Chain A
Amino acid sequence: MKKKLFISHKQAKHICDKKQYGEATFLESVSLSIRVAWCKLTKIYSKKNNKLTHTVQSAEMNCLNQFEREGIQKKFEQELNKRL
């Protein structure tokens, strides 16, 4: 249990990344909080990581879904093949 709660900076970064996507467990979140409380490097990493997540969400970015991409690809390849 003690080993799980007290983590290295590398482990903290990994958990912090997982947390951005809601994939950190409760225990991992607690261990990250403990590390953040006393480790300045982890605190900086965590702060920047959280803000990156917030920024990307705020930009409301879009990308093509697989179906749309395949449609474009198909049309493009037909045209490309004509030119070969």
Chain B
Amino acid sequence: MTPNHTINPNNWIKLYSDYLFNYTISRVNDREIARDLVSETFLSGLKSMENFRGKASERTWLTSILKRKVIDHYRKINSIKGKAEVRMNYSNSSESEGDWLEERVADSFDKTAEDIMENTELGDAIYECIGKLPEKQAQVFEMKTITGYDTETICNELKITASNLWVQIHRARTALAACLEKNWFN
């Protein structure tokens, strides 16, 4: 059966801006350019909304627009940085089960271009998983873990109690660990 996704631009920024920004910054390596490309992506999406057929999710559709924008950006600056995406095949042996995530993340020292691309792909995978979380959990997790806000700031911002924050964090972390294991490591 063909999936029939709907489109609602009112929620785009809230739902997809962080994912798209992370996707872009890891490819263009410039915060300002990344922000502009994300902004242009939303505007282009709005203009071509009638072309959305619902076969892919909104996020996949917006990402495909963004990919073209990133390519156009590299064409403009005539750079050689527009490399193809890396696809990795990790072993799936049961012996390495206990070693779960750590060994599969590149060392932060002596990074090669390949290491950086592997971590870029990992960042995309993490955002994929964050995208599957309920909105509140995703928001709390991002603010706490990626942006690094302190507990009090998040509680004031989202008008939740500290204990509610930790419940959301716990659920988000448990779901993320399971999602990454299923979609990235296996």
Chain A residues in the interface with B (C-beta under 8 A): 13-14, 17-18, 20-21, 23, 47-49, 51-52, 54-56, 58-65, 68-69, 71-73, 75-76, 79-80, 83
Closest CB in chain A relative to B31 CB, distance in Å: 8
Q: Are B170 and A13 in contact (CB under 8 A)?
A: yes
Q: Produce 1/0 per residue, B18-50, CB < 8 A to A.
A: 100110011000010011001100110010000
Question: For chain B, what secondary structure do more than half of its interface residues adopt (helix, strand, loop), or is it mixed?
Answer: helix
Contacts A48-B177, A52-B176, A59-B119 known; 4 new A-B pairs at CB < 8 A? A51-B100, A52-B173, A59-B105, A60-B123
Closest CB in chain A relative to B179 CB, distance in Å: 11
Q: Are B21 and A63 in contact (CB under 8 A)?
A: yes
Number of interface residues of B (CB under 8 A): 43
With a cutoff of 8 Å between Cβ atoms, the chain A residues found around residue B126 in the complex are 55-56, 59, 61
The docked-state distance in angstroms from the alpha carbon of A60 to that of B43 is 27
With a cutoff of 8 Å between Cβ atoms, the chain A residues found around residue B147 in the complex are 63, 65
With a cutoff of 8 Å between Cβ atoms, the chain A residues found around residue B170 in the complex are 13-14, 17
Q: Are B35 and A72 in contact (CB under 8 A)?
A: yes
Q: Are B18 and A76 in contact (CB under 8 A)?
A: no
